[in-house]
Structure 1
Amino acid sequence: MNKQAAHQLLDFIDNSPSPWHVAISAAMALEKKDFQRLDERDAWKLEEGGRYYVIRDGSSIIGFIVGNDDPIKYGFRIIGAHTDSPGLRVKPNAPYTKGPMVRLGVEIYGGPILATFTDRDLSLAGRVVIKTGDVPTDIDSRLIHFEKPIVRIPNLAIHLNQGVNQQGLKLDHQEELPLVLSVLQENLPAQQQFRMLLADKIGVEADVILSWELQVFDTQPGSFFGPDEQFIANGQLDNLASCHAGLCALLDDQVLNPKTTNLIAYFDHEEVGSQSNKGAGGSFLTDVLERISLAMNLDRESQKRANANSFLLSADTAHAYHPNYKKFYDDEHKAIVNSGPTIKINAKQRYTSESISEALFMRLCEQAEVPYQKAVHRTNLACGSTIGPQISAQLGIRSVDVGNPIWAMHSARESGGTLDHHYMIKAMTVFFAN
């Protein structure tokens, strides 16, 4: 069993506990292959065969290689994914006391399975903004990552919640989700105590901290399980598995000198609808494609012709068939772990897959010599969506929605098949190589 790709994925996730860390992890990997960072505020001078990347607001990243052949004929090859994961985010005035305990107030981000965040070794990661001078624009953003567990959501004892096994764990979002941080220190207000904790971690004085965006994450490292380690478990498989697979494909030696212009486009805010300046519903990808086209001396009509010859792989995880819950799956259209990439199909266009794009991805898998499967929700169950429909509609680019099947999607601890990540990388590499 080929486990190397899965090992690398688990390490990537462990080093990327927030969307801001995902972008930096991807940027570091790109720079090792001589990708040059661009700034949206500067004029771009791009060269044929050049390797570049650009980050918008710290947590969305696009990396690309300028193709060597006619862009009108070959278009753009794009793998799209998202850097964010559902969970809990720390409020601005989060620290407060209940009796002798300091707690942190949180908001729910996206649609997490809240019960899975209880009784786990949790910590905080994200970015902190500090003032660096007297002018209002003198601010700086610092990444922060507490590697060791510092917060927790302890469960209520079953003696006090005797119906929990019959009724399920139900948490009041305002009163029962706050994180236990510490015992209140004498003569030190909770707000100041928390600011000092952040300041010490990033090496500044507490009074220069202005604001923060902090994500709660599970500190347990990724792992293999099963007699032959045929399964993997970690937080944020949705959707860092797709981010890592696309990154590996773009950096593969056989596609570092492509005839097509190849891009990975990873967006924040997918889990809350993508409607932001750095979300898939925003202008980030459109802006980058237009600037690439201008650098390649394409007029507006030529840009549109290039788009018409382009293809998007919208990559996000799929729901794996769960043997304990058979009633939630269509027997003819279920996705099985370790059985290859899944083509996600929905007649209401919650996914972008249609017969042509579906067939093209099938051919890619055949060329890559990896299995593939097709998944459709039960007709009496609602279907989720991805970044695919928004990007495809904006740009008029043909698209297919694909992903590896996982269990417990949106849990603090998701799981899936060891082989599937290897399969997806192979398929994406062939996509960029054609």
Structure 2
Amino acid sequence: MNAPFDRAHTDELLGYLASSPSPYHAVANAAQRLEKAGFRQVEETAPFDGAAGGRYLVRGGALIAWFVPEGAGAAAPFRVVGAHTDSPNLRIKPVPDTGAHGWKQLAVEVYGGTLLNTWLDRDLGLSGRLTLRDGRHLLLRVDRPLLRVPQLAIHLDRGVNDGLKLDRQRHMTPIWGIGRPREGELIEFLAAEAGVAHGEVLGFDLMAHSVEPPAYLGRDRELLAAPRLDNLLSVHAAVAALASVAGQRLDHIPVVAAFDHEENGSQSDTGAEGPLLGRVLERSVHARGGGPEERGRALAGSFCLSSDCGHAVHPNYPERHDPDHHPVAGGGPILKVNVNQRYATDGVGRAVFAAACERAGVPWQSFVSNNAMPCGTTIGPITAARHGIATVDVGVPILSMHSARELCAAVDPFLLANAMAAFLGEGVTIPSTGASWQS
């Protein structure tokens, strides 16, 4: 490894993870980091201009950011890093106040492919956004022990260690008090937390999160244990990389696209299958004086690096991995390959990624699924198919993917960010910014 490990980057990642319990917080904190780097927010309803400089827009839990270099022509291609802001969790139902047998509970719906058992007997807070009568959105983060999904005692389930089976409707309802449930109690409580009148809250998008903070783990602090590594690790790296290349003289336009709803299929106005990225790229071309011809040329010359966490080889289950592809923690980012296009990587993409890692002095590894195991997917194939942009899938190898708390090597996020900087720009080492990442 030629890129010297700057632990400050990982320190900042811990702060970003802790302050971003929901996609809305993740986007707000990323926007704050871009503002410090000189980017300015644009509204989708306002005209775009073609002047040089950094810009970003926010829609819900999604963010698109881009930097227009000096002299960029209308047909200048794009270099896109794609990631997603959402993680599997428990989300609050429209009628939340429930309970029985002297316990106050909150009705939840399971979001994404959650490892349900990791949410048991864990202290949980609440986060998300409230929508007010006047149309404003308020970010909400109750970052203290508020909820708990209690597991049945072993005395009442003697066979639990031989196989735990959880029913999503009956067994995952968290407790948050004693007594009879009262309609409107949760929103009344959260309105008070947000400092607004109860009657002003007309809508909400809320989810549970573990209040245990991210932490270094191990004798030498060489591991990182944290919630939402999948995939805020990639969002953080992408934003840091984009900020580091802003101002460089480039013949392409670097872009970061952080989508929502990847964990349930990406089919939304803020998901990778929606029109958001395509509209931004098209409007950027038009703002620089281009039309359909220039847009077609720009997209034909563009490339996307889709970044999402992947599987490190599990020491207790090595048979679940391909015998010749064992990505290890601390070995650098992984190139994700699936010939059935669950990942978008091909030989061209491999060469582009390998060259970026070489420029950055970053080691990399290959990942392919065991043929006997189903392969997951990412925003990569969606982006390639929707926009006709050549795409490669990469990420950081982790353990406990989709757990309430995941694990990776402390150095790998830094290595990924440096590879992204080389892909987006001229390959600079990611500097420490001292950013607090607090929304």
Residue 23 (str. 1) matches residue 27 (str. 2): yes
Q: 1:287-324: CA deviations, max 9, x gaps?
A: 00000000111121111111111110000001110110
Which of 173, 176, 181 does residue 176 from structure 2 map onto? 181
Distance 2:21 2:255 in 1: 24
Distance 1:407 1:156 in 2: 26
Question: Which residue pairs with 2:167 in the alignment?
Answer: 172
Which of 35, 40, 43 does residue 39 from structure 1 map onto? 43
Question: Which residue pairs with 1:269 in the alignment?
Answer: 261
Matches within 5 A, 1:357-376: 357-376=349-368
Which of 199, 219, 224 does residue 191 from structure 2 map onto? 199
SS at match of 2:272: coil
Q: 1:228-285: CA deviations, max 9, x gaps?
A: 1110010000000000000110111x44334121110000000010011111000000
Distance 2:391 2:73 in 1: 18
- 2:112 partner amino acid: G
- 2:55 partner amino acid: Y
Which of 295, 302, 324 does residue 303 from structure 1 map onto? 295
Shift of 1:72: 6.3
Which of 50, 67, 70 does residue 68 from structure 1 map onto? 70
Shift of 1:409: 0.2
Residue 240 (str. 1) matches residue 248 (str. 2): no
Distance 1:129 1:101 in 2: 28
- 1:93 partner amino acid: V
Shift of 1:346: 0.1
SS at match of 1:159: helix
Contact 1:97/1:190, CA 8 A, preserved across alignment: no
Distance 1:242 1:418 in 2: 14
Shift of 1:73: 6.6
Distance 2:74 2:264 in 1: 35
Shift of 1:220: 0.5
- 1:145 partner amino acid: R
Question: Which residue pairs with 2:374 in the alignment?
Answer: 382
Q: 1:61-87: CA deviations, max 9, x gaps?
A: 011101234446751011000000011
Residue 51 (str. 1) matches residue 54 (str. 2): yes
- 1:126 partner amino acid: G
- 1:111 partner amino acid: G
Residue 432 (str. 1) matches residue 424 (str. 2): yes
Distance 1:258 1:213 in 2: 41
Shift of 1:161: 1.1
- 1:181 partner amino acid: W
Contact 1:255/1:429, CA 8 A, preserved across alignment: no
Distance 1:69 1:346 in 2: 39
Which of 108, 123, 126 does residue 125 from structure 2 map onto? 123
Distance 1:212 1:109 in 2: 16
Residue 212 (str. 1) matches residue 204 (str. 2): yes
Shift of 1:3: 2.2
Q: Return the TM-score normalized by structure 1.
A: 0.95
Question: Which residue pairs with 1:86 in the alignment?
Answer: 88
Question: Which residue pairs with 1:323 in the alignment?
Answer: 315
Contact 2:74/2:285, CA 8 A, preserved across alignment: no
Contact 1:255/1:432, CA 8 A, preserved across alignment: no
SS at match of 1:232: strand
- 1:63 partner amino acid: A
Contact 1:258/1:432, CA 8 A, preserved across alignment: no
Q: 1:191-225: CA deviations, max 9, x gaps?
A: 23212211111111112221211111101100011
What number of residue pairs does the alignment pair up? 421
Contact 1:316/1:386, CA 8 A, preserved across alignment: yes
Residue 257 (str. 1) matches residue 252 (str. 2): no
Q: 1:155-193: CA deviations, max 9, x gaps?
A: 1111111111111x22221111111011137xxx52232
Question: Which residue pairs with 2:399 in the alignment?
Answer: 407
SS at match of 1:149: strand
SS at match of 2:136: strand
When the two chains are superposed, the root-mean-square deviation of aligned CA atoms in Å is 1.3
Q: 1:68-115: CA deviations, max 9, x gaps?
A: 344467510110000000111000101113122110011010001000
Distance 1:317 1:365 in 2: 17
Question: Which residue pairs with 2:270 in the alignment?
Answer: 278
Question: Which residue pairs with 2:333 in the alignment?
Answer: 341
Q: Which stretch of structure 1 is more off in the superposition, 236-245 or 361-370?
A: 361-370
Shift of 1:227: 1.2
Question: Which residue pairs with 1:141 in the alignment?
Answer: 137
Q: Which stretch of structure 1 is more off in the superposition, 352-361 or 61-70?
A: 61-70
Question: Which residue pairs with 2:432 in the alignment?
Answer: none
Residue 12 (str. 1) matches residue 16 (str. 2): yes
Residue 105 (str. 1) matches residue 130 (str. 2): no
Cα 1:179–1:299 change in 2 (3 A) is same
Q: Return the TM-score normalized by structure 2.
A: 0.93
Name segments (4+ residues, structure 1) moved above 4 Å.
Answer: 69-74
Contact 1:79/1:263, CA 8 A, preserved across alignment: yes
Question: Which residue pairs with 1:160 in the alignment?
Answer: 156
SS at match of 1:215: strand
**Aligned residues with identical type, % of pairs:** 39
- Which structure 2 residue ranges, 5 or more long, are not aligned? 427-439
SS at match of 2:351: helix
SS at match of 2:144: coil
Question: Which residue pairs with 1:134 in the alignment?
Answer: none
- 2:125 partner amino acid: S
